Chains A and B, each alone.
Chain A
Amino acid sequence: MSKIPLNTPVLDPRIKRVDLESTYGTTAIGENEHWISWEVFHQKKRGDQHVHVGIVHAPDAQLALLFAKEQFGRRLACVNLWVTKSSDIFSFSYDDEDIFDNATAPEKQYREAAGFKVMEKINRYKKSKQKA
């Protein structure tokens, strides 16, 4: 046990009451002592999607929900939260990002509303009727 090299007297009455010397210089957090991580999904109001907002550390789902409530349901509107273990998330790699390119490719216009020009055809038809 080492002596705390205090440069000024402790001012906080709560801290003065505890025996800080008893733990000084001896504490270490063990591996996994802060538990596993959980991904948190937040729903702002009924009818909205749940959106990923971050993570909490917890030993089980029940406590993960409790911490998620404190951390993510404390300051912003919220009606519901989901948690799932980080290890249960599966995803694509960003290295394969280009596999999504054709979702918005110009040659896929045939499946967009904007890919069909009906007014041109209607106007052409109306014009031909007027001439007749």
Chain B
Amino acid sequence: MYGGGYIQEEKQEATSQIDDAQKLAEFEARIDRGEKIEPHDWMPADYRKQLIRMIEQHAHSEVIGALPEGTWITRAPGFRRKLALIAKVQDEIGHAHLLYSAAETLGKSREQMINDLLTGKSKYSNVFNYPAKTWADVTVIGFLIDAGAIVNQVANSKGSYGPYCRALERICYEESFHLKQGHDAFITLATGTKAQHDMLQDALNRWWKPIMHFHGPPDKISEHTAKLMRWKVKMATNDDMRNQFLDMYVPKILEIGITIPDPNLKKNEATGQWEFSDPDWDEFKRVINGDGPCNAERLAVRQYVEEHGKWVRTAMMNPNQKVVIPFA
């Protein structure tokens, strides 16, 4: 679900390897023809590197994204909501699994990826560094964060790397339920008692900034970005995805009497672009670099769980087995 809208860029290394010109031309021609790249194909080092980073961050976002929602399983209001939330959280962990597998076909092991998550080396979607204080927070996450993720994931499912597209196709199918149950819960609170309505409004007010951050800061139009778009690794700019999200979901928020805490938010009909107040990109950078409300807690919980499951994993391990990269 939580296709991390924002993919942390790594500084371009000056020593990045020079790719064989003829192979590169064939590779680009294949992508231009709309064909997919498969795991054992030749690919530019930069393509591989960027895809691993992107798919891995997406997988981590699924794992960490299950934490704020999982918090509310024991306190969900009613049996039906509890069942739906359990199913959704299980789906998210399943998505992480699909995504780790897709990233593994590019040559990085699942163990390495999880270690990079645990040490904070590798990022996940920034929104999960904020707390889910009330049931209304879970509702806002289930509706609007999932909605933002779907915009991102539908775009990426038309990308060029076969295993990632296959994983996303299945993920998008399951997401449709997540979005619908989130919308249902959102409408229930918005149109319920005054206390319910106020709780939802309060949650949306707190979540609006992270939601505006979700697709990442405006892209610098660099040669690097242009190359990733040509290779169909990045399918749309961050601003385009945010704009598409606002187009689809602002009306759905307003139509049931919830307001959006930004007086400057409006669509410029002439350009088709939404205009809004600066969503505080400094805060975004601060939080993504570790100083958010929940960063430390999220990683501490993952570390605790990994540590306490370790004895089971090692007891069942067969030391004679050699790790093999998944086939497809």
Interface set of A (CB-CB < 8 Å, partner B): 4-8, 10-15, 18, 20, 22-37, 39, 52, 54-57, 59-60, 63, 70-71, 74-75, 85-87, 89, 91, 93-94
Interfacial chain A residues near B98, Cβ < 8 Å: 54, 71
Interfacial chain A residues near B252, Cβ < 8 Å: none
Q: Which residue of A lies closest to B94 (CB)?
A: A71
A56 to chain B, nearest CB (A): 8
CA distance A43 to B203 in the complex (A): 44
B283 within 8 A of A: no
A-B contact count (CB 8 A): 140
Known interface pairs A30-B111, A31-B323, A37-B324; 16 further A-B residue pairs with C-beta atoms within 8 A, sorted by A's residue number: A7-B295, A8-B297, A20-B301, A27-B118, A27-B303, A27-B307, A29-B114, A32-B319, A33-B310, A33-B314, A33-B317, A35-B318, A36-B322, A37-B104, A74-B94, A75-B174
Whether A87 and B296, one on each chain, are in contact in the complex, defined by CB atoms closer than 8 angstroms, is no
Interface set of B (CB-CB < 8 Å, partner A): 38, 40-41, 71, 74, 90-91, 94, 97-98, 101, 104, 109-111, 114-115, 118, 131-133, 166-167, 173-174, 291-297, 300-301, 303-304, 306-308, 310, 313-314, 316-319, 321-328
CA distance A53 to B136 in the complex (A): 36
State the majority secondary structure of interface residues on A.
loop
Interfacial chain B residues near A87, Cβ < 8 Å: 322, 324
Interfacial chain B residues near A14, Cβ < 8 Å: 71, 74
Q: Which residue of B lies closest to A25 (CB)?
A: B303
